[in-house]
Amino acid sequence: MLTEHPRVVIALGFVLVMFGTISPWLMVTRTVVRSFALCFLSYGASVAGIMLGLIGVSLHGEVRLRQGH
């Protein structure tokens, strides 16, 4: 499924990276209460988002090569 729709993987990675960027900003502006769990979750979301984005880009390239473009 992932090799058929790599844009979904890229979009999911983008959403995770955005969550990992916005949540610390909200903690710094004191809109959201800072906690260890939320800090760890935002860090994990950033790392997972970057990894999913890289995987999605490589899958997209693989699909294009298979199609002959």
pLDDT digits (tens, 9 = 90+) for 26-56: 999 999 999 999 999 999 999 999 999 999 9
pLDDT at residue 67 in the model: 83
57 CB contacts (<8 Å, ≥6 apart)? 6, 10
pLDDT at residue 27 in the model: 95
**Please, are residues 15 and 56 in contact by the beta-carbon 8 Å criterion?**
no
At 17, which helix (H) or strand (E)? Answer: helix 6-28
Tell me what the pLDDT averaged over the chain comes to. Answer: 92
- Closest Cα partner for 27 from 16, 17, 38? 38
Predicted TM-score (pTM) of this structure = 0.86
**3-class secondary structure, 31:** coil
